[in-house]
Amino acid sequence: MLILECPYCGVKGEETEFHAGGEAHLKRFGPGSSDEDFETYLFMRENPKGVHLERWRHANGCGKWFHAARCTMTLEVFGTYSAQTLEPPKEIKDILTAKRPGWSWRNFK
Amino acid sequence: MRRYSAFAVAREAARFHTGWERAWRSPQPKKKYDVIIVGAGGHGLATAFYLGKNFGITNVAIIEKGWLGGGNTGRNTTIIRSNYLQDPSAALYEKARSLYETMSQDLNYNVMFSPRGVIMLAQTEHEVRGYKRTAHANMLQGVETRFIGPEEVKKLVPIISLEGPRYPVLGGLYQARGGTGRHDAVAWGYARACSDMGMDIIQQCEVTGVRSSGGKVTGVDTTKGAIDCDKLGLVVAGNSGALANMAGFRLPMESVALQALVSEPIKPCMDVVVMANTVHGYMSQSDKGEMVIGGGTDGFNNYTQRGSFHHIEETVRALVETFPMVSRLKMLRQWGGIVDVTGDRSPVIGKTPLGNCFINAGWGTGGFKAIPGGGWATAELIAKGEPGPLSAEFGMERFIEGRFIDESVAAGVAH
Protein backbone atom coordinates (compact mmCIF):
# COMPACT_ATOMS: atom_id res chain seq x y z
CA MET A 1 0.00 0.00 0.00
CA LEU A 2 1.34 3.39 -1.01
CA ILE A 3 1.45 6.17 1.56
CA LEU A 4 1.69 9.61 -0.02
CA GLU A 5 1.92 13.03 1.55
CA CYS A 6 0.16 15.85 -0.22
CA PRO A 7 2.65 18.74 -0.53
CA TYR A 8 -0.19 21.27 -0.57
CA CYS A 9 -2.37 20.39 2.43
CA GLY A 10 0.26 18.33 4.22
CA VAL A 11 -2.08 15.39 4.79
CA LYS A 12 -0.60 11.91 4.66
CA GLY A 13 -2.89 9.27 3.26
CA GLU A 14 -2.91 5.85 1.65
CA GLU A 15 -3.44 5.44 -2.06
CA THR A 16 -7.26 5.25 -2.13
CA GLU A 17 -7.26 8.90 -1.08
CA PHE A 18 -5.33 9.78 -4.23
CA HIS A 19 -5.71 9.31 -7.95
CA ALA A 20 -2.72 8.36 -10.08
CA GLY A 21 -2.23 10.68 -13.04
CA GLY A 22 0.61 9.11 -15.01
CA GLU A 23 4.01 10.39 -16.04
CA ALA A 24 5.06 13.86 -14.87
CA HIS A 25 6.96 16.63 -16.66
CA LEU A 26 5.49 15.84 -20.07
CA LYS A 27 6.20 18.47 -22.68
CA ARG A 28 2.85 19.44 -24.11
CA PHE A 29 2.27 20.09 -27.80
CA GLY A 30 -0.56 22.07 -29.30
CA PRO A 31 -2.05 22.90 -32.70
CA GLY A 32 0.48 23.00 -35.51
CA SER A 33 2.83 20.47 -33.95
CA SER A 34 4.07 17.48 -35.91
CA ASP A 35 2.51 14.02 -35.70
CA GLU A 36 5.69 12.72 -34.05
CA ASP A 37 5.48 15.39 -31.34
CA PHE A 38 1.87 14.50 -30.64
CA GLU A 39 2.78 10.82 -30.48
CA THR A 40 5.55 11.52 -27.99
CA TYR A 41 3.37 13.73 -25.85
CA LEU A 42 0.23 11.59 -25.91
CA PHE A 43 1.49 8.02 -26.00
CA MET A 44 5.23 7.45 -25.58
CA ARG A 45 6.21 6.80 -21.98
CA GLU A 46 9.37 6.22 -19.97
CA ASN A 47 7.85 3.31 -18.04
CA PRO A 48 11.12 2.73 -16.17
CA LYS A 49 12.11 -0.02 -13.79
CA GLY A 50 13.17 2.10 -10.84
CA VAL A 51 12.85 5.84 -10.28
CA HIS A 52 9.65 7.28 -11.71
CA LEU A 53 8.41 10.86 -11.55
CA GLU A 54 4.65 10.97 -11.73
CA ARG A 55 1.50 12.99 -11.20
CA TRP A 56 -1.04 12.37 -8.45
CA ARG A 57 -4.21 14.14 -7.43
CA HIS A 58 -5.35 14.41 -3.86
CA ALA A 59 -8.80 13.35 -5.05
CA ASN A 60 -10.42 12.63 -1.70
CA GLY A 61 -8.72 15.55 0.01
CA CYS A 62 -7.76 19.02 -1.09
CA GLY A 63 -8.16 18.10 -4.77
CA LYS A 64 -4.78 19.46 -5.84
CA TRP A 65 -2.49 17.88 -8.40
CA PHE A 66 1.06 17.25 -7.25
CA HIS A 67 4.13 15.27 -8.25
CA ALA A 68 5.76 12.26 -6.60
CA ALA A 69 9.10 10.50 -7.01
CA ARG A 70 8.62 6.77 -6.55
CA CYS A 71 10.41 3.51 -7.28
CA THR A 72 8.42 1.14 -9.50
CA MET A 73 10.48 -1.86 -8.33
CA THR A 74 9.92 -1.41 -4.57
CA LEU A 75 7.01 1.07 -4.44
CA GLU A 76 9.15 3.24 -2.15
CA VAL A 77 8.00 6.86 -2.26
CA PHE A 78 11.04 9.15 -2.20
CA GLY A 79 9.04 12.30 -1.80
CA THR A 80 6.29 14.52 -3.17
CA TYR A 81 6.55 18.02 -4.56
CA SER A 82 4.58 20.82 -6.12
CA ALA A 83 3.23 20.40 -9.63
CA GLN A 84 4.11 24.03 -10.39
CA THR A 85 7.57 23.15 -11.62
CA LEU A 86 9.26 21.88 -14.77
CA GLU A 87 11.71 19.64 -12.95
CA PRO A 88 12.03 17.98 -9.55
CA PRO A 89 13.39 20.32 -6.83
CA LYS A 90 16.88 19.89 -5.46
CA GLU A 91 15.72 18.18 -2.22
CA ILE A 92 14.02 15.44 -4.23
CA LYS A 93 17.04 15.05 -6.51
CA ASP A 94 19.30 14.78 -3.45
CA ILE A 95 17.12 12.06 -1.91
CA LEU A 96 17.14 10.17 -5.23
CA THR A 97 20.91 10.48 -5.53
CA ALA A 98 21.36 9.25 -1.96
CA LYS A 99 19.00 6.29 -2.36
CA ARG A 100 19.49 5.42 -6.04
CA PRO A 101 23.02 6.52 -6.99
CA GLY A 102 23.34 7.08 -10.72
CA TRP A 103 19.58 7.48 -11.21
CA SER A 104 18.29 9.19 -14.31
CA TRP A 105 14.85 9.89 -15.63
CA ARG A 106 14.46 11.33 -19.12
CA ASN A 107 16.93 14.23 -19.06
CA PHE A 108 17.03 14.65 -15.27
CA LYS A 109 19.93 13.26 -13.27
CA MET B 1 9.85 -36.82 -28.91
CA ARG B 2 7.73 -39.68 -27.64
CA ARG B 3 4.07 -38.98 -28.33
CA TYR B 4 1.64 -38.80 -25.44
CA SER B 5 -1.31 -41.15 -25.91
CA ALA B 6 -3.56 -43.55 -24.04
CA PHE B 7 -1.21 -46.27 -25.24
CA ALA B 8 1.80 -44.43 -23.77
CA VAL B 9 0.04 -44.16 -20.40
CA ALA B 10 -0.66 -47.90 -20.43
CA ARG B 11 2.89 -48.71 -21.52
CA GLU B 12 4.40 -46.59 -18.75
CA ALA B 13 1.98 -47.94 -16.17
CA ALA B 14 3.30 -51.41 -17.00
CA ARG B 15 6.89 -50.34 -16.31
CA PHE B 16 6.38 -48.17 -13.27
CA HIS B 17 6.58 -44.89 -15.23
CA THR B 18 10.31 -45.20 -15.83
CA GLY B 19 10.14 -44.35 -19.53
CA TRP B 20 8.82 -40.79 -19.54
CA GLU B 21 11.31 -38.38 -21.04
CA ARG B 22 11.77 -34.71 -20.20
CA ALA B 23 9.25 -32.56 -22.05
CA TRP B 24 11.94 -30.15 -23.27
CA ARG B 25 15.73 -29.90 -23.25
CA SER B 26 17.58 -27.29 -21.19
CA PRO B 27 20.65 -26.58 -23.33
CA GLN B 28 23.41 -24.03 -22.93
CA PRO B 29 23.13 -21.19 -25.43
CA LYS B 30 24.95 -21.47 -28.77
CA LYS B 31 27.05 -18.59 -30.10
CA LYS B 32 24.52 -17.59 -32.72
CA TYR B 33 20.94 -18.20 -33.78
CA ASP B 34 18.88 -17.15 -36.80
CA VAL B 35 16.22 -15.79 -34.48
CA ILE B 36 16.27 -15.02 -30.77
CA ILE B 37 12.95 -14.61 -29.01
CA VAL B 38 13.22 -12.85 -25.65
CA GLY B 39 10.55 -14.14 -23.30
CA ALA B 40 9.40 -17.74 -22.95
CA GLY B 41 5.81 -16.97 -22.09
CA GLY B 42 2.86 -18.03 -24.16
CA HIS B 43 3.34 -15.47 -26.93
CA GLY B 44 7.11 -16.00 -27.14
CA LEU B 45 6.85 -19.77 -27.32
CA ALA B 46 3.94 -19.59 -29.76
CA THR B 47 5.97 -17.23 -31.96
CA ALA B 48 8.85 -19.70 -31.97
CA PHE B 49 6.52 -22.63 -32.64
CA TYR B 50 4.91 -20.99 -35.69
CA LEU B 51 8.32 -19.83 -36.96
CA GLY B 52 9.19 -23.51 -37.12
CA LYS B 53 5.86 -24.90 -38.18
CA ASN B 54 4.79 -22.29 -40.74
CA PHE B 55 8.16 -21.06 -41.99
CA GLY B 56 10.66 -23.85 -41.30
CA ILE B 57 12.89 -21.57 -39.21
CA THR B 58 14.16 -23.78 -36.39
CA ASN B 59 17.57 -22.31 -35.50
CA VAL B 60 15.81 -20.36 -32.77
CA ALA B 61 16.55 -19.62 -29.13
CA ILE B 62 13.87 -18.59 -26.66
CA ILE B 63 15.49 -16.76 -23.75
CA GLU B 64 13.71 -16.44 -20.42
CA LYS B 65 14.92 -14.64 -17.31
CA GLY B 66 12.77 -16.71 -14.95
CA TRP B 67 11.07 -19.99 -15.73
CA LEU B 68 8.99 -20.57 -18.82
CA GLY B 69 5.36 -19.60 -18.46
CA GLY B 70 6.10 -18.01 -15.09
CA GLY B 71 4.98 -14.51 -15.93
CA ASN B 72 1.52 -13.50 -17.02
CA THR B 73 1.03 -16.82 -18.84
CA GLY B 74 0.84 -18.53 -15.45
CA ARG B 75 -0.97 -15.69 -13.70
CA ASN B 76 -4.04 -14.97 -15.80
CA THR B 77 -7.61 -16.19 -15.33
CA THR B 78 -7.43 -18.33 -18.51
CA ILE B 79 -10.40 -16.78 -20.29
CA ILE B 80 -10.57 -17.33 -24.04
CA ARG B 81 -12.99 -15.26 -26.13
CA SER B 82 -13.02 -13.25 -29.35
CA ASN B 83 -16.08 -10.99 -29.02
CA TYR B 84 -14.20 -7.78 -29.79
CA LEU B 85 -15.73 -4.78 -31.50
CA GLN B 86 -13.12 -3.64 -34.00
CA ASP B 87 -12.43 -5.69 -37.15
CA PRO B 88 -8.65 -6.11 -36.70
CA SER B 89 -9.10 -7.29 -33.09
CA ALA B 90 -11.92 -9.67 -33.91
CA ALA B 91 -9.81 -11.22 -36.68
CA LEU B 92 -6.76 -11.66 -34.47
CA TYR B 93 -8.58 -12.96 -31.39
CA GLU B 94 -10.86 -15.21 -33.45
CA LYS B 95 -7.81 -16.72 -35.15
CA ALA B 96 -6.43 -17.39 -31.68
CA ARG B 97 -9.67 -18.87 -30.41
CA SER B 98 -9.97 -21.16 -33.42
CA LEU B 99 -6.37 -22.33 -32.96
CA TYR B 100 -7.16 -23.14 -29.32
CA GLU B 101 -9.83 -25.58 -30.53
CA THR B 102 -7.27 -27.90 -32.10
CA MET B 103 -4.26 -26.98 -29.98
CA SER B 104 -4.25 -30.17 -27.91
CA GLN B 105 -4.07 -32.24 -31.11
CA ASP B 106 -1.60 -29.90 -32.84
CA LEU B 107 0.80 -29.95 -29.91
CA ASN B 108 0.06 -33.51 -28.71
CA TYR B 109 -0.36 -31.90 -25.30
CA ASN B 110 -3.63 -31.57 -23.42
CA VAL B 111 -4.25 -27.86 -22.92
CA MET B 112 -7.71 -28.62 -21.53
CA PHE B 113 -9.42 -26.08 -23.78
CA SER B 114 -12.97 -25.96 -22.51
CA PRO B 115 -15.38 -24.05 -24.77
CA ARG B 116 -17.86 -23.64 -21.96
CA GLY B 117 -19.16 -20.25 -23.04
CA VAL B 118 -18.45 -16.69 -21.92
CA ILE B 119 -21.13 -14.21 -20.85
CA MET B 120 -20.39 -10.52 -20.48
CA LEU B 121 -23.21 -9.11 -18.39
CA ALA B 122 -25.01 -5.95 -19.45
CA GLN B 123 -26.06 -4.10 -16.31
CA THR B 124 -26.84 -0.65 -17.63
CA GLU B 125 -28.79 0.56 -20.67
CA HIS B 126 -25.51 1.77 -22.15
CA GLU B 127 -23.98 -1.64 -21.80
CA VAL B 128 -27.04 -3.25 -23.42
CA ARG B 129 -26.64 -0.96 -26.42
CA GLY B 130 -22.87 -1.45 -26.49
CA TYR B 131 -23.08 -5.24 -26.42
CA LYS B 132 -25.87 -5.34 -29.01
CA ARG B 133 -23.58 -3.29 -31.22
CA THR B 134 -20.73 -5.73 -30.56
CA ALA B 135 -23.00 -8.68 -31.35
CA HIS B 136 -23.93 -7.07 -34.68
CA ALA B 137 -20.28 -6.30 -35.43
CA ASN B 138 -19.33 -9.88 -34.56
CA MET B 139 -22.01 -11.16 -36.95
CA LEU B 140 -20.41 -9.20 -39.79
CA GLN B 141 -16.95 -10.39 -38.73
CA GLY B 142 -18.02 -14.03 -38.70
CA VAL B 143 -17.53 -14.36 -34.95
CA GLU B 144 -20.38 -16.29 -33.38
CA THR B 145 -21.87 -14.27 -30.51
CA ARG B 146 -25.36 -13.16 -29.59
CA PHE B 147 -27.10 -10.89 -27.15
CA ILE B 148 -29.22 -12.82 -24.67
CA GLY B 149 -31.90 -11.65 -22.24
CA PRO B 150 -31.88 -11.96 -18.44
CA GLU B 151 -33.96 -15.19 -18.48
CA GLU B 152 -31.35 -16.95 -20.60
CA VAL B 153 -28.56 -15.58 -18.41
CA LYS B 154 -30.31 -17.06 -15.36
CA LYS B 155 -30.75 -20.38 -17.18
CA LEU B 156 -27.04 -20.54 -18.02
CA VAL B 157 -25.91 -19.28 -14.61
CA PRO B 158 -28.36 -20.43 -11.94
CA ILE B 159 -26.27 -18.96 -9.11
CA ILE B 160 -26.54 -15.41 -10.45
CA SER B 161 -28.68 -12.76 -8.81
CA LEU B 162 -30.49 -10.82 -11.54
CA GLU B 163 -31.65 -8.14 -9.12
CA GLY B 164 -28.40 -6.94 -7.63
CA PRO B 165 -28.39 -4.20 -5.00
CA ARG B 166 -26.87 -1.70 -7.43
CA TYR B 167 -27.27 -2.92 -11.01
CA PRO B 168 -29.84 -5.39 -12.35
CA VAL B 169 -28.76 -7.88 -15.02
CA LEU B 170 -30.40 -6.66 -18.23
CA GLY B 171 -28.88 -9.28 -20.51
CA GLY B 172 -25.51 -10.31 -21.76
CA LEU B 173 -23.20 -10.79 -24.70
CA TYR B 174 -22.83 -14.55 -25.01
CA GLN B 175 -20.07 -16.32 -26.91
CA ALA B 176 -20.84 -20.02 -26.65
CA ARG B 177 -17.52 -21.06 -28.17
CA GLY B 178 -15.41 -19.04 -25.77
CA GLY B 179 -14.23 -20.62 -22.57
CA THR B 180 -11.11 -21.42 -20.62
CA GLY B 181 -7.89 -23.38 -21.04
CA ARG B 182 -5.10 -24.66 -18.86
CA HIS B 183 -2.66 -21.75 -19.06
CA ASP B 184 0.48 -23.60 -17.89
CA ALA B 185 -0.19 -26.41 -20.33
CA VAL B 186 -0.30 -23.93 -23.21
CA ALA B 187 3.25 -22.81 -22.36
CA TRP B 188 4.44 -26.35 -21.67
CA GLY B 189 2.86 -27.73 -24.85
CA TYR B 190 4.47 -25.07 -27.04
CA ALA B 191 7.80 -25.49 -25.21
CA ARG B 192 7.78 -29.24 -25.80
CA ALA B 193 6.94 -28.81 -29.47
CA CYS B 194 9.61 -26.10 -29.92
CA SER B 195 12.26 -28.20 -28.21
CA ASP B 196 11.29 -31.13 -30.44
CA MET B 197 11.92 -28.97 -33.52
CA GLY B 198 15.46 -28.35 -32.25
CA MET B 199 14.91 -24.93 -30.75
CA ASP B 200 16.76 -24.01 -27.56
CA ILE B 201 14.72 -22.84 -24.59
CA ILE B 202 17.17 -21.13 -22.25
CA GLN B 203 15.67 -20.41 -18.85
CA GLN B 204 17.11 -18.35 -16.01
CA CYS B 205 18.98 -16.28 -18.53
CA GLU B 206 18.23 -12.58 -18.28
CA VAL B 207 18.87 -10.24 -21.17
CA THR B 208 21.04 -7.39 -19.87
CA GLY B 209 21.66 -5.53 -23.09
CA VAL B 210 20.75 -5.34 -26.75
CA ARG B 211 23.72 -4.95 -29.10
CA SER B 212 23.20 -3.12 -32.33
CA SER B 213 25.21 -1.47 -35.06
CA GLY B 214 24.05 0.62 -37.98
CA GLY B 215 20.41 0.51 -36.90
CA LYS B 216 20.37 -3.28 -36.76
CA VAL B 217 20.45 -5.67 -33.86
CA THR B 218 23.47 -7.95 -33.84
CA GLY B 219 22.75 -9.86 -30.65
CA VAL B 220 21.95 -9.71 -26.97
CA ASP B 221 24.03 -9.69 -23.81
CA THR B 222 22.69 -12.09 -21.23
CA THR B 223 23.58 -13.44 -17.81
CA LYS B 224 24.83 -16.51 -19.70
CA GLY B 225 27.02 -14.50 -22.06
CA ALA B 226 26.57 -12.77 -25.39
CA ILE B 227 24.45 -14.44 -28.07
CA ASP B 228 24.35 -13.29 -31.68
CA CYS B 229 21.29 -13.34 -33.89
CA ASP B 230 20.06 -12.31 -37.32
CA LYS B 231 16.64 -11.30 -36.03
CA LEU B 232 15.34 -10.46 -32.59
CA GLY B 233 11.81 -10.77 -31.25
CA LEU B 234 10.87 -9.00 -28.02
CA VAL B 235 7.92 -10.76 -26.41
CA VAL B 236 8.20 -9.77 -22.78
CA ALA B 237 4.84 -8.23 -21.82
CA GLY B 238 5.24 -6.11 -18.69
CA ASN B 239 9.01 -5.83 -19.15
CA SER B 240 8.75 -4.45 -22.70
CA GLY B 241 9.58 -0.95 -21.53
CA ALA B 242 12.79 -2.16 -19.88
CA LEU B 243 13.87 -4.13 -22.98
CA ALA B 244 13.02 -1.24 -25.28
CA ASN B 245 15.10 0.99 -23.07
CA MET B 246 18.07 -1.37 -23.59
CA ALA B 247 17.48 -1.32 -27.33
CA GLY B 248 17.28 2.47 -27.31
CA PHE B 249 13.67 3.27 -28.14
CA ARG B 250 10.50 4.10 -26.23
CA LEU B 251 7.12 2.41 -26.35
CA PRO B 252 3.57 3.72 -26.13
CA MET B 253 2.95 1.58 -23.06
CA GLU B 254 2.96 1.62 -19.29
CA SER B 255 3.30 -1.36 -16.95
CA VAL B 256 0.78 -1.79 -14.18
CA ALA B 257 -0.18 -4.59 -11.80
CA LEU B 258 -3.25 -6.72 -12.46
CA GLN B 259 -4.48 -9.06 -9.75
CA ALA B 260 -6.36 -12.33 -9.58
CA LEU B 261 -7.44 -14.64 -6.81
CA VAL B 262 -8.98 -18.09 -6.34
CA SER B 263 -11.33 -19.43 -3.71
CA GLU B 264 -11.29 -22.72 -1.90
CA PRO B 265 -12.59 -25.54 -4.14
CA ILE B 266 -16.32 -26.19 -4.06
CA LYS B 267 -18.66 -28.53 -5.94
CA PRO B 268 -19.48 -27.60 -9.55
CA CYS B 269 -21.84 -24.64 -9.53
CA MET B 270 -21.07 -22.57 -12.63
CA ASP B 271 -20.09 -23.98 -16.02
CA VAL B 272 -19.66 -20.74 -17.93
CA VAL B 273 -17.34 -17.76 -17.58
CA VAL B 274 -19.17 -14.66 -16.34
CA MET B 275 -17.76 -11.16 -16.66
CA ALA B 276 -19.53 -8.27 -14.97
CA ASN B 277 -17.80 -5.16 -16.24
CA THR B 278 -20.01 -2.50 -14.69
CA VAL B 279 -19.47 -3.68 -11.12
CA HIS B 280 -16.10 -5.05 -12.23
CA GLY B 281 -15.59 -8.65 -11.34
CA TYR B 282 -15.28 -11.79 -13.39
CA MET B 283 -15.40 -15.38 -12.36
CA SER B 284 -15.22 -18.94 -13.64
CA GLN B 285 -14.88 -22.29 -11.95
CA SER B 286 -11.76 -24.34 -12.50
CA ASP B 287 -11.79 -28.11 -12.95
CA LYS B 288 -10.52 -28.38 -9.38
CA GLY B 289 -13.60 -26.50 -8.18
CA GLU B 290 -11.92 -23.25 -7.26
CA MET B 291 -13.70 -20.08 -8.26
CA VAL B 292 -11.17 -18.18 -10.39
CA ILE B 293 -11.59 -14.45 -9.97
CA GLY B 294 -10.10 -11.58 -11.92
CA GLY B 295 -9.47 -8.24 -10.30
CA GLY B 296 -8.56 -4.80 -11.48
CA THR B 297 -5.43 -2.91 -12.44
CA ASP B 298 -3.80 -0.21 -10.39
CA GLY B 299 -3.48 3.25 -11.83
CA PHE B 300 0.25 3.63 -11.27
CA ASN B 301 3.38 2.16 -12.88
CA ASN B 302 4.51 -0.93 -11.07
CA TYR B 303 6.93 -3.82 -11.61
CA THR B 304 6.47 -5.59 -8.28
CA GLN B 305 3.97 -8.27 -9.38
CA ARG B 306 1.72 -7.37 -6.50
CA GLY B 307 -1.21 -5.02 -6.52
CA SER B 308 -3.18 -2.87 -4.11
CA PHE B 309 -5.52 -4.48 -1.62
CA HIS B 310 -8.46 -2.19 -2.29
CA HIS B 311 -8.84 -3.77 -5.73
CA ILE B 312 -9.43 -7.15 -4.13
CA GLU B 313 -12.05 -5.60 -1.92
CA GLU B 314 -13.79 -3.99 -4.90
CA THR B 315 -13.70 -7.19 -6.92
CA VAL B 316 -15.02 -9.36 -4.12
CA ARG B 317 -17.76 -6.84 -3.39
CA ALA B 318 -18.81 -6.92 -7.05
CA LEU B 319 -18.93 -10.72 -7.05
CA VAL B 320 -20.86 -10.98 -3.80
CA GLU B 321 -23.58 -8.74 -5.18
CA THR B 322 -23.65 -10.67 -8.47
CA PHE B 323 -23.37 -14.16 -6.94
CA PRO B 324 -24.62 -13.93 -3.32
CA MET B 325 -23.66 -17.58 -2.63
CA VAL B 326 -19.93 -16.78 -2.81
CA SER B 327 -20.11 -14.53 0.26
CA ARG B 328 -18.98 -17.31 2.62
CA LEU B 329 -16.18 -18.61 0.39
CA LYS B 330 -12.65 -18.40 1.69
CA MET B 331 -10.02 -17.15 -0.71
CA LEU B 332 -7.03 -19.44 -1.10
CA ARG B 333 -4.52 -17.45 -3.09
CA GLN B 334 -4.05 -13.99 -4.53
CA TRP B 335 -1.36 -12.86 -6.90
CA GLY B 336 -0.42 -10.14 -9.35
CA GLY B 337 1.15 -9.87 -12.77
CA ILE B 338 2.64 -6.92 -14.59
CA VAL B 339 0.70 -6.01 -17.71
CA ASP B 340 1.78 -3.52 -20.38
CA VAL B 341 -1.10 -1.29 -21.33
CA THR B 342 -1.22 0.79 -24.53
CA GLY B 343 -3.18 3.97 -25.14
CA ASP B 344 -5.92 2.24 -27.14
CA ARG B 345 -5.88 -1.01 -25.14
CA SER B 346 -4.87 -2.99 -28.23
CA PRO B 347 -1.58 -4.84 -28.59
CA VAL B 348 1.45 -3.94 -30.64
CA ILE B 349 2.71 -6.50 -33.14
CA GLY B 350 5.13 -4.80 -35.42
CA LYS B 351 8.49 -3.40 -36.38
CA THR B 352 10.68 -1.28 -34.15
CA PRO B 353 13.14 1.52 -34.95
CA LEU B 354 15.80 -1.24 -35.24
CA GLY B 355 15.43 -2.91 -38.63
CA ASN B 356 15.64 -6.56 -37.62
CA CYS B 357 14.04 -6.24 -34.20
CA PHE B 358 10.34 -6.99 -33.86
CA ILE B 359 7.97 -6.62 -30.96
CA ASN B 360 4.88 -8.37 -29.67
CA ALA B 361 3.64 -6.50 -26.60
CA GLY B 362 0.97 -4.30 -25.13
CA TRP B 363 -1.61 -7.05 -24.59
CA GLY B 364 -2.52 -5.34 -21.37
CA THR B 365 -5.02 -7.34 -19.37
CA GLY B 366 -5.93 -9.79 -22.14
CA GLY B 367 -2.97 -11.62 -23.62
CA PHE B 368 -3.70 -15.23 -22.75
CA LYS B 369 -6.68 -15.62 -25.06
CA ALA B 370 -4.58 -14.36 -27.96
CA ILE B 371 -1.52 -16.58 -27.52
CA PRO B 372 -1.83 -18.76 -30.64
CA GLY B 373 -3.02 -15.88 -32.84
CA GLY B 374 -0.38 -13.49 -31.53
CA GLY B 375 2.31 -16.10 -32.02
CA TRP B 376 1.08 -16.87 -35.53
CA ALA B 377 1.10 -13.19 -36.52
CA THR B 378 4.47 -12.46 -34.88
CA ALA B 379 6.09 -15.47 -36.54
CA GLU B 380 4.88 -14.21 -39.92
CA LEU B 381 6.23 -10.74 -39.13
CA ILE B 382 9.65 -12.05 -38.11
CA ALA B 383 9.96 -14.56 -40.96
CA LYS B 384 8.96 -12.15 -43.73
CA GLY B 385 10.14 -8.92 -42.14
CA GLU B 386 6.77 -7.37 -42.93
CA PRO B 387 3.46 -7.73 -41.12
CA GLY B 388 0.94 -10.17 -42.56
CA PRO B 389 -2.82 -9.62 -42.74
CA LEU B 390 -3.40 -10.50 -39.06
CA SER B 391 -0.97 -7.95 -37.67
CA ALA B 392 -1.05 -5.28 -40.38
CA GLU B 393 -3.14 -2.89 -38.27
CA PHE B 394 -1.24 -3.50 -35.03
CA GLY B 395 2.05 -1.72 -35.77
CA MET B 396 3.29 1.03 -33.48
CA GLU B 397 2.98 3.57 -36.29
CA ARG B 398 -0.76 3.67 -35.60
CA PHE B 399 -0.01 6.02 -32.70
CA ILE B 400 1.59 8.53 -35.06
CA GLU B 401 -1.07 8.14 -37.72
CA GLY B 402 -3.96 8.28 -35.26
CA ARG B 403 -5.26 4.96 -36.57
CA PHE B 404 -6.18 3.50 -33.19
CA ILE B 405 -7.84 0.16 -32.59
CA ASP B 406 -9.97 1.41 -29.78
CA GLU B 407 -10.97 -1.47 -27.55
CA SER B 408 -10.95 0.36 -24.25
CA VAL B 409 -14.66 0.98 -24.52
CA ALA B 410 -15.58 -2.17 -26.38
CA ALA B 411 -13.83 -4.59 -24.09
CA GLY B 412 -14.01 -2.74 -20.79
CA VAL B 413 -11.35 -3.14 -18.20
CA ALA B 414 -11.90 -6.84 -17.78
CA HIS B 415 -10.17 -7.71 -21.00
CATH (domain of B71)? 3.50.50.60
> Is residue B44 a part of any domain in this protein?
yes
To the nearest whole angstrom, how far is the Cα of B106 from the nearest Cα of chain A? 38
Residue of A43, A49, A104 to mutate, testing the B interface (most B Cβ within 10 Å of its Cβ): A43
> Is residue B3 a part of any domain in this protein?
no
Report the pLDDT value the prediction gives residue B409, as an integer from 0 to 100: 55
Report the pLDDT value the prediction gives residue B317, as an integer from 0 to 100: 93
> Is residue B21 a part of any domain in this protein?
no
Q: Do B304 and A16 touch (CB under 8 A)?
A: no
Among B325, B342, B359, where does a domain finish? B342
Q: What is the ipTM of this complex?
A: 0.93
Please give the model's pTM, rounded to 2 decimal places.
0.94
Q: Per residue in A24-76, pLDDT tens?
A: 999 999 999 999 999 999 999 999 999 999 999 999 999 999 999 999 999 99
Residues of B in contact with A13 (CB under 8 A): none
Report the pLDDT value the prediction gives residue B184, as an integer from 0 to 100: 96
Residue B139 and residue B213 in one domain: no
Residue B197 and residue B329 in one domain: no
Residue B95 and residue B190 in one domain: yes
Does B362 touch chain A if contact means CB atoms closer than 8 Å? Answer: no
Report the pLDDT value the prediction gives residue B255, as an integer from 0 to 100: 95
> Is residue B15 a part of any domain in this protein?
no
> Is residue B415 a part of any domain in this protein?
no
Profile chain B (415 residues) by mean pLDDT over runs of 10 residues. Answer: 93 94 95 97 98 97 96 95 94 96 97 96 94 95 96 97 94 97 97 97 97 95 97 96 93 94 96 93 95 90 90 93 94 94 93 95 94 97 96 95 79 46
Q: Do B241 and A45 touch (CB under 8 A)?
A: yes
Question: Domains in chain A and their CATH numbers?
Answer: 3-99 (3.30.2270.10)
Residue of A47, A51, A67, A71 to mutate, testing the B interface (most B Cβ within 10 Å of its Cβ): A47
Report the pLDDT value the prediction gives residue B131, as an integer from 0 to 100: 94
> Is residue B16 a part of any domain in this protein?
no
3-state secondary structure chain B: CCCCCHHHHHHHHHCCCCCCCCCCCCCCCCCEEEEEEECCCHHHHHHHHHHHHHHCCCCEEEECCCCCCCCHHHCCCCEECCCCCCHHHHHHHHHHHHHHHCHHHHHCCCCCCECCCEEEEECCHHHHHHHHHHHHHHHHHCCCCEEECHHHHHHHCCCCCCECCCCECCEEEEECCCEECCHHHHHHHHHHHHHHCCCEEECCCCEEEEEEECCEEEEEEECCEEEEEEEEEECCHHHHHHHHHHHCCCECEEEEEEEEEEEEECCCCCCCEEEECCCCEEEEECCCCEEEEEEEECCCCCCCCCCCHHHHHHHHHHHHHHCHHHHHCCEEEEEEEEEEEECCCCCEEEECCCCCEEEEECCCCCCHHHHHHHHHHHHHHHHHCCCCCCCHHHCCCHHHHCCCCCCCCCCCCCC
> Is residue B142 a part of any domain in this protein?
yes
Q: In terms of C-beta density within 10 A (0-12 exposed, 13-18 middle, 19 or more buried), how is residue B402 classed?
A: exposed
Residue B354 and residue B296 in one domain: no
Q: How many structural domains comprise chain B?
A: 2
Domain extent for B194: 30-82+85-107+183-252+344-401
To the nearest whole angstrom, how far is the Cα of A94 from the nearest Cα of chain B? 22
To the nearest whole angstrom, how far is the Cα of A16 from the nearest Cα of chain B? 8
Residue B241 and residue B286 in one domain: no
> How confident is residue A1, by pLDDT bands cut at 50, 70 and 90?
confident
Residue B77 and residue B103 in one domain: yes
Residue B195 and residue B334 in one domain: no
Among B342, B370, B389, where does a domain finish? B342
A88 Cβ neighbours under 8 A, 6+ residues apart: A53, A67, A69, A81, A96, A108
Residue B40 and residue B125 in one domain: no
**Mean pLDDT for chain A?**
94
Residue B268 and residue B220 in one domain: no
Residues of B in contact with A2 (CB under 8 A): 300, 308
Residue B316 and residue B382 in one domain: no
B326: domain CATH number?
A: 3.30.9.10
Residue B195 and residue B321 in one domain: no
Does B20 touch chain A if contact means CB atoms closer than 8 Å? Answer: no
Residues of A in contact with B400 (CB under 8 A): 35-36, 38-39
Among B307, B342, B377, where does a domain finish? B342
Residue B244 and residue B367 in one domain: yes
> Is residue B133 a part of any domain in this protein?
yes
Report the pLDDT value the prediction gives residue B414, as an integer from 0 to 100: 46
Report the pLDDT value the prediction gives residue B205, as an integer from 0 to 100: 97
Report the pLDDT value the prediction gives residue B411, as an integer from 0 to 100: 45
